[in-house]
Amino acid sequence: MILDIARHKFYEGLLVLFLLATIGVVSNFVMVNEAIANATITSAPLQPALRDFTMAHPVIAAMLSLMLIMATSLRLTRATITHSLFQVGSLVTMSLSAVIILGIGLHGNLLSNLIVAYIAAEAINRICYCIPPSPRLHHLFTAFMALGALPLFDSSMLAPALLAPIVIILSRKKPREVVVAIIGLLVPAFIYSYVSWCQGAPFLSGISAIWRGMLTPSALADGNYLSLPRLIMLGTAAFIQICTSLIYHNDRLSISLISREIWKMLQILVLIFAACFAVLPSTTPASFLIIGLCISVMAPLLFNKIAGGGSMIAFFLLVGIAIWAM
């Protein structure tokens, strides 16, 4: 049944995803709020261009936003299915990630937030392929290249990107794999710096701008982001993560060893992102959105446990909170 999120077939999940994405995009592009878009902008190099593009071409930006929401949700759903993160196949992530985006990420510089979300989803999907003892180097390279591209769109992502090499070293990867990961991490910044240098700017001007943006307080309060509905949405996402972690702790032996390693990696990512964004003054809506997307990959375990009427009530309650928070 289409109302039972825990038992969605693909076309049912895709329909719910499309409806949620359409609601979010239409409600945010009926009247593009330039004041909030300016207030939540950071010193990331590519954010001003995306803000100007949204203001100049709102219809095209809305269509791109719709495609980005659907692509992000489908990419995360594919990761859960491909790597068998649950005892049974589940498409809950397809709808749940869209709800997370609605309730947390649709604020301010919208197109930039959604591009960050898609790149993060791509990074999560590719990092899952790096869990086996001998990962393919192209998965490792592209996963860290995606992580390295995040600060170009949101400067608060620089700290997690800097911590990524430490995590890969502590995971006892081979020296060759560590080198490939670090090179992939540096490639986006090098390409941007080279293009800027060709246009006459100092070679390291983009990197220094990202560093200053990471240490500059964001304007979340000025943009009215942390309103009561959104705080409730953030608290609900945190509660879902706590419940999911407790259930996983009891049922972790029912899945494969590689799947358990992926779960460990996702939980570490949530902790790293949360710690960085709690300490840094430059936290933005995209910062909370990244944590929410990691949670949406694991949360199907909770919804599968309370399948039936319980999962329907929980899901539609979460949809109501997300729409309220928009």
Check residue 75 and give its pLDDT.
92
Check residue 14 and give its pLDDT.
86
What is the secondary structure of 267-287 as a DSSP string? HHHHHHHHHHHHH-TT--HHH
Q: What is the CA radius of gyration of the chain?
A: 19
What are the boundaries of each domain within the chain? 5-132+222-325
Contact between 117 and 102 under an 8 Å Cβ cutoff? The reply is: no
Distance CA 27, CA 23 (A): 6
Residue linked to tokens 């300490």: 279
C-alpha pair distances (Å), 8 with each of 14, 92, 195, 211: 9, 7, 46, 44
C-alpha pair distances (Å), 213 with each of 110, 198, 217, 244: 18, 23, 8, 34
Distance CA 107, CA 129 (A): 32
pLDDT, tens digit only, all 326 positions of the chain: 566 676 778 888 888 889 988 888 888 776 555 555 554 555 678 888 888 888 888 888 889 999 999 999 999 998 888 888 887 777 888 888 989 998 887 777 788 889 999 999 998 888 888 776 666 788 888 988 998 899 888 888 888 888 876 776 666 667 888 888 888 888 998 998 888 888 888 888 878 888 887 887 776 654 567 788 888 998 999 999 999 888 888 877 777 788 888 888 888 888 888 888 888 877 888 888 899 999 999 988 888 888 667 778 888 888 888 888 87
Residue linked to tokens 């039972």: 4
